Amino acid sequence: MDKISPAVAGFGLHVRQARVAFGGAVLFEDLSFDLAPGSFTCLLGPSGIGKSTLLRLIAGLAPADARAQIQADDGSPLAGRVAWMAQTDLLCPWLDVAANVALGARLRGTASDGARVAALLEAVGLGDKMRAMPNTLSGGQRQRAALARTLMEDRPLVLMDEPFGALDAITRWRLQDLALQMLAGRTVLLVTHDPREALRMGDTVRVLAGRPAALGAALHPRGLAQGELHEAEHRLLDELSATAA
Amino acid sequence: MRPLLLFASFCIVWEALVRATGVPPFILPGPLRVAAALANNASFLAENALVTLLEIVLGMVVGVGLGCLAALALSASRGARAWLLPLVVASQAIPIFAIAPLLVLWLGFGLASKVAAAALVIFFPVASAFYDGLARTERGWLDLAQVMNASPAAILWRVRLPAALPALASGLRMAAAVAPIGAIIGEWVGAAAGLGFVMLQANAQMQTDLMFAALLVLATFAVLFYRLVDRLALRLAPWQPPTQSTV
């Protein structure tokens, strides 16, 4: 396991006064929240509410007129300490699976740790697909490779933008387990529109809803009994459908 | 098999038409007469075909090279876009017929002027297709590269360039299709050898059968050259679904 997850403890993150507007329409403003170090936070919201934009803002990919004060609680800058996993796998079709997993090193012009690539691919169940080209993989396999690439970056903060949205139910279930297990100890912010996914994966679940969007109260699903989880899922669905309507 | 059958039936209809109408051979020779001209002048035609082939291949090398360089420069710097883009467009807007005499005047009757003419018609489809591909990299790859702290140079070489290879491949196919045009026009304007030169001479001497024979050789070469480039282009971007070869 050492090869797979060296000790990278996630740091806490403070986001203050985030504001994003497209043209005249304000998606959200004065949005503030914290991510506890090493915690898994799920941000739940209907499509188009601005979840992905918020994630991009934290990743440093924000549009020009977006702004926010974003600080790590250890005081160091965020650049170089964030990993990003998008809705689509973003595997480069011209590189084989192993080279895709080592993409970060390739782009930075540094040597990649081949043993770690192999160990990660083994861990996500693609040990026999190292030399395969992405177009020969199934959707689930591709997303596994993308997860391995995200982990290969070995960053303390991991931002995930509906990474399992396009997968079938069983594959999604397995990959959620895999991600939970492999991301343990890092600070994770996962954006999703699926309440069940949020409740299953998050230490903390927050709903982003309304216009301009505001964050609902934090929900902590861990330790909730089955009945309480069901109740929470219904409540979340109600909140989401209120905004969607 | 189908192209051969098609060609054979075309020849039969052609021969029948010539015999039925009694049209004189200097207007329209029948395929048998063309075949005879082809056989009688085999070495002469081969000699000249080699010249044209060399012009096409060298023109392709120069045109593709310059086209790729222009596309890279255009996408690497805003200043280059401002200065180069009008030139690239002009290279296509001015008809090759208008420039070819100048090329012959400046570069002489030999190989160089034909290579330049071929390179000129090849340059635009390559530069334009490759530049388009470089400019339209999937947003997600660029985001991912940015989060991974890639430098702009690394993003160009390791993401945008390989992502643009399918576009370059279609540019190469287009270039291969027009390459013979440049070389032949160059030969028409002024040359001492080549299939275009043979066609012009034969036409002047009413040797229409020889002209058709040269045309046949040229068409065969053009098709084979296109298929070869099509194969190479497929290798450039094997992850793209193979295109339906039209010839």
Chain B: residue whose CA lies nearest to A160:
B144
Domain of residue B188: give its range.
31-236
Residue B241 lies in a domain: no
Residue B98 lies in a domain: yes
Please indicate whether, in this complex, the C-beta atoms of A109 and B144 are within 8 angstroms of each other.
Answer: no
- Kindly report the CATH number assigned to the domain that includes residue B210: 1.10.3720.10
Angle between the N-to-C axes of helices B195-204 and B42-76, in degrees from 0 to 180, rounded to the nearest 10: 130
Residue A4 distance to chain B (closest CA, Å) = 19
Task: Report the pLDDT value the prediction gives residue A187, as an integer from 0 to 100.
Answer: 94
Residue B18 lies in a domain: no
Residue B12 lies in a domain: no
Q: Domain A13-81+156-244 belongs to what architecture?
A: 3-Layer(aba) Sandwich (3.40)
> Given A93, A108, A109, which is nearest B239 (Cβ)?
A93
Total domain count, chain B: 1
Residue B204 lies in a domain: yes
Q: Hey, is the C-beta of A82 within 8 angstroms of any chain B C-beta?
A: yes
Task: Report the pLDDT value the prediction gives residue B127, as an integer from 0 to 100.
Answer: 93
Spans of all domains in chain A: 13-81+156-244, 92-154
Query: Please, where are the H alpha helices in chain B?
Result: 2-21, 31-40, 42-76, 78-93, 96-107, 111-135, 139-147, 152-155, 161-189, 195-204, 208-236
Please indicate whether, in this complex, the C-beta atoms of A88 and B150 are within 8 angstroms of each other.
Answer: no
* Mean pLDDT rounded to a whole number for chain B: 90
Residue B93 lies in a domain: yes
Assign B239 a pLDDT band (cuts: 50, 70, 90). Answer: confident
The three-class DSSP label of residue A219 is strand
Provide the percentage of residues in chain A whose pLDDT is more than 70: 96
Task: Report the pLDDT value the prediction gives residue B247, as an integer from 0 to 100.
Answer: 42
Residues of B in contact with A93 (CB under 8 A): 239
Q: How many other CB atoms are there within 10 angstroms of residue A231's CB atom?
A: 12
Residue B165 lies in a domain: yes
Task: Report the pLDDT value the prediction gives residue B246, as an integer from 0 to 100.
Answer: 44
Select the highest-mean-pLDDT range: A60-74, A160-174, B153-167: B153-167
Residue B216 lies in a domain: yes
> Given A90, A109, A134, which is nearest B144 (Cβ)?
A90
Give the CB-side neighbour count of residue B1, counting CA atoms within 13 A. 0
